[in-house]
Structure 1
C-alpha cells in the first residue's frame, strides 16, 4: 500500500491574472524543449502527458486520473513506469527548465527553502520522524530543499535535494527497497545547498545571483556562508537572534568577548544610529519604510580560525530590521552585500515569499504532494515534473501579460 502524503508550506496570497481569450503558449513546444534530451520518443510523450495532467486534472493527480482525463483511457502502468522506473536523469530537465525560466522572467535571486512532505507510512524514500524547521515541530515526513529562481514576476523552484535522515544510512533494507543510490548519504544541510548551487553554476551555466535562505534553526551558519563566499556569491541569510558571535573590536567594550546576535545588535544600537530605508515591496507592490541597523560581525568559528594559521576571515554584516518603538529587531540577516545599498538589499529579503507562494501553488494546483511511489528516482522525477508544470504556467502568464500590455487591455 502506498504511503499517503500531505504537503505543508507557508502560503501567501496567490496573485491572479485575467487571462486573454486565447492561449498564447504551446504546451507541446514547451515540453519539446524541456524533454529534448530524451533519447526515446515514448519518454518525451509520457513527459508531456504527465505535465498536462498536472496542469489540467482537477483534484489529486494520480496516474489513473491523469491517464483517464488526458488520454481518455487508463494507462496507469505506463505512467508509473515513466515516473518511477524510467532511467531518465532529472538534472538535465531541471537545467533546461531553469534556462527557460531565465528567459521568461528576470530572476533577481536564488531562494533556498525547506519543503515538508508529511507521511503516514515509513517506507517512502527519506521518511523519518524528524524536526521540520519551517513548521517548528517534529513530524513523520520527508524533508527537501528547493532552490528557486525568484524575481518581481514571481518564483519557480528549479532544483531539488531530498534530505536523507541518518537512519537511512544504516538501514540497507530501506535503502534497497527505495533504490537509494550508494553515494546518497545523510549530510549537513549546507552541503545539500552548495551541491545544488554548484549544479546551477557549473552544469547549467546560470547567471550567478544572490542567495536567500532561512537558517534560523541551524546551529552553525558559517559553513554555508564560507561556501557561498568561496563561489563568489552574494547572500542574505536570515539567522536566529541566538546565533553566537564574537563582538567586533569597533563595537565591543571587551574585544573578543562572546555574545549573541541580539546582544550585538543591542550594543550597536546604543553606540550608533539606525538607518531609515524606504523601498518598493515586490510582493505587495507598495512602498514600505523601516529602520535598519548594520554592523560588522564575526561568528565564533571566525574567531577560532583567526587563532589558527589560516587567513583572517573577511568580516560580514549583520543587517537587523529594527523599527523605532520596538524593544528588539524583528529580523536578523547575515549578508556580504554592500551596506551602502540598503534600498536594493532590503527588497531581496521579501523575494523569498515568492518562492513560498510558488511552492504552495505547486501543492494546491500542480500535484507536488500527490506522488504515490516510494523510490528515490521516482520522487526526483515527480518534483521535477511538478516544477515543469508551474514553469509552464509562469511562461503562459508572462506571455499573457505581454499580450495584454501590447493590446492595451
Structure 2
C-alpha cells in the first residue's frame, strides 16, 4: 500500500525525517513496516498535544488509517531488539556516552487491562499508583541523553492471572523478577548482544532491598558503577563466621566519612536567595571480603576487582547526608565522579521531557509487544529531536567518557 502523507508534515516541520527513519528502521525486513514506522515516528514528533493513534492518523496521513497503525504498533510481530541496537549505534555517534543511566519510567493507567498494570509503589513518584513500571537504559553525555533499551517490570500478580496474560499476549518466559535482574539482563544485551563499549552504570537503588546482588552482578561483569543506596543498607556483605563483627550501615559510615583516608571536595551553589556549600566525601568501604567469581563451570577469585568506596553528599550545616552512593570508580578523580552524579539528574530531566514531547505516556494499547514497540518508536523520535538540537552544538562530540 502506498501511503500519501499530508504535505504539511513532510516538509516544513521535519524536512530530513524520512531519511532518518529509513536508517533507523532499516532492521525491519518489510517495506510496509518501515513505512508505517515512519508515519508513527513522524506523528510522535509533529502532532501537538496527545499523540494517540487516531490523532497521528488524522494529522500525518490525512485519512483514517487507525487500523493500519494499530496493526503496526500492537499486532505486528516485528522484533524491537535489532531496531534498538541500530538506535544505540546512532546515539553513540551523536553523543559520546559518559554513562549508562538506568531509570524508572512510570506510565499511569486507568483500569487493569494494560499489560503489567497494577496498583504498585513507584519509587520515582514516591507513592502508590495504578500504573505500568518500565526500566530504561539511557546513553548519557554532558549535553544530552537518550533511552536505547527498555524492560517492562511485570508485577507478581501477573504471573498467575492467565486470562490477562493471554489477552495482553505476554510471552510465557516473561515473569515477575527483582529489579536487579531486569537491569542486568538489559546491560547484558547491550554489552554482549549489541557489542557496545560499556560506560559506568548509574542507577538509583535507594528504594531497593537487594542491592548487594546488583553490585555483585555488575562486578562479575567487570562493569564500573555508581549506585545510590539507602542509608540503612549494610555497607558490605556479612563476613561468614566473623568474630562478633557487626556490619556497619552506609549511614553509619557516612557519619564517619571525614577522616584522613577520605577525599573531600566543597563547592558553592548560588541562588537568588542564598548561597549553600555542598560537600562530597569519598571514603573506602572497610572490611570488604574477596568472594569467588563464577566463570563458566569453574570458580575463580576475581583478584583485580576494584575496591568499593562510599560517596557521600552533604549540605554543610546539616547533621545528616543528603545522598549516599556505593561505587567502584576511581575516587581520586572526585570532580569527574561528581559530574556523573549531576549527569544522572540531567538524564532524568530528558526522560521527563519524553513523556509529552514524543508521547511516551500517550500509548493506549494493551499488549506486551505493543508496549515495547511504542517505547522503541518514542526513543527513536526523541533521538531525532536530540539530533536537531545538537546540530549547532558540535562540541558535544568532543567529550570523552569517564575512565
TM over 0.5: yes
SS in 2 for 1:141: strand
SS in 1 for 2:393: helix
SS in 1 for 2:176: coil
Given that 2:290 and 2:301 are in contact with CA atoms closer than 8 Å, whether structure 1 keeps it comes out as: no
In structure 1, distance between residues paired with 2:137 and 2:23: 21
Answer yes or no: is 1:326 the counterpart of 2:318. Answer: yes
Given that 2:263 and 2:332 are in contact with CA atoms closer than 8 Å, whether structure 1 keeps it comes out as: no
Given that 1:124 and 1:178 are in contact with CA atoms closer than 8 Å, whether structure 2 keeps it comes out as: yes
Quote how far apart the aligned CAs of 1:293 are.
2.1
Moved over 3 A (4+): 22-25, 246-249, 268-274, 277-280, 302-306, 309-315, 400-403
In structure 2, distance between residues paired with 1:393 and 1:243: 40
Answer yes or no: is 1:390 the counterpart of 2:382. Answer: yes
2:255 counterpart (266, 285, 306): 266
1:172 match: 162
2:16 counterpart (22, 26, 34): 26
Residues 91, 246 of structure 1: alpha-carbon distance in 2 compared, 3 angstrom cutoff: closer
Answer yes or no: is 1:97 the counterpart of 2:87. Answer: yes
- Cα distance per residue 1:92-122 (max 9 Å; x no partner): 1111111111111222100000111111110
Given that 1:274 and 1:291 are in contact with CA atoms closer than 8 Å, whether structure 2 keeps it comes out as: no
Quote how far apart the aligned CAs of 1:273 are.
5.7
Quote how far apart the aligned CAs of 1:257 are.
2.4
Residues 264, 54 of structure 1: alpha-carbon distance in 2 compared, 3 angstrom cutoff: same
In structure 2, distance between residues paired with 1:324 and 1:400: 39
In structure 2, distance between residues paired with 1:144 and 1:321: 28
Given that 1:110 and 1:209 are in contact with CA atoms closer than 8 Å, whether structure 2 keeps it comes out as: yes
1:275 match: 264
Mapping of residues 3-402 of structure 1, within 5 Å: 26-245=16-235, 256-269=245-258, 275-277=264-266, 290-297=278-285, 311=301, 315-402=307-394
Quote how far apart the aligned CAs of 1:151 are.
0.8
Quote how far apart the aligned CAs of 1:322 are.
2.4
Quote how far apart the aligned CAs of 1:71 are.
1.1
Which structure has more RCO (C-alpha within 8 Å, separation ≥ 6)? 1
Residues 279, 39 of structure 1: alpha-carbon distance in 2 compared, 3 angstrom cutoff: farther
In structure 1, distance between residues paired with 2:290 and 2:248: 15
Given that 1:247 and 1:258 are in contact with CA atoms closer than 8 Å, whether structure 2 keeps it comes out as: yes
Quote how far apart the aligned CAs of 1:128 are.
1.0
Given that 2:121 and 2:129 are in contact with CA atoms closer than 8 Å, whether structure 1 keeps it comes out as: yes
Given that 1:164 and 1:186 are in contact with CA atoms closer than 8 Å, whether structure 2 keeps it comes out as: yes
- Cα distance per residue 1:65-93 (max 9 Å; x no partner): 11111111110000000000111111111
SS in 2 for 1:294: strand
Quote how far apart the aligned CAs of 1:304 are.
11
Quote how far apart the aligned CAs of 1:401 are.
3.3
Residues 255, 336 of structure 1: alpha-carbon distance in 2 compared, 3 angstrom cutoff: farther
- Cα distance per residue 1:216-240 (max 9 Å; x no partner): 0001211111111122111111111
Quote how far apart the aligned CAs of 1:310 are.
8.4
In structure 2, distance between residues paired with 1:107 and 1:277: 26
- Cα distance per residue 1:373-402 (max 9 Å; x no partner): 100000000010011100000111122334
- Cα distance per residue 1:198-217 (max 9 Å; x no partner): 11111222121001000000
Residues 226, 298 of structure 1: alpha-carbon distance in 2 compared, 3 angstrom cutoff: farther
Residues 25, 228 of structure 1: alpha-carbon distance in 2 compared, 3 angstrom cutoff: farther
Quote how far apart the aligned CAs of 1:23 are.
8.1
In structure 2, distance between residues paired with 1:87 and 1:263: 52
Name structure 2 gaps, 5 residues minimum. Answer: 1-11, 270-275, 293-298, 396-403
In structure 2, distance between residues paired with 1:125 and 1:24: 33
Quote how far apart the aligned CAs of 1:256 are.
2.5
Residues 310, 220 of structure 1: alpha-carbon distance in 2 compared, 3 angstrom cutoff: farther
In structure 2, distance between residues paired with 1:267 and 1:374: 50
In structure 2, distance between residues paired with 1:156 and 1:135: 21
Alpha-carbon RMSD across the aligned residues, in angstroms, is 2.9
Quote how far apart the aligned CAs of 1:305 are.
5.9
Given that 1:247 and 1:259 are in contact with CA atoms closer than 8 Å, whether structure 2 keeps it comes out as: no
- Cα distance per residue 1:162-191 (max 9 Å; x no partner): 000111111111110000011111111101
Residues 399, 273 of structure 1: alpha-carbon distance in 2 compared, 3 angstrom cutoff: closer
Name structure 1 gaps, 5 residues minimum. Answer: 1-21, 281-287, 404-409
Given that 2:147 and 2:379 are in contact with CA atoms closer than 8 Å, whether structure 1 keeps it comes out as: yes
In structure 2, distance between residues paired with 1:298 and 1:273: 12
- Number of aligned residues: 369
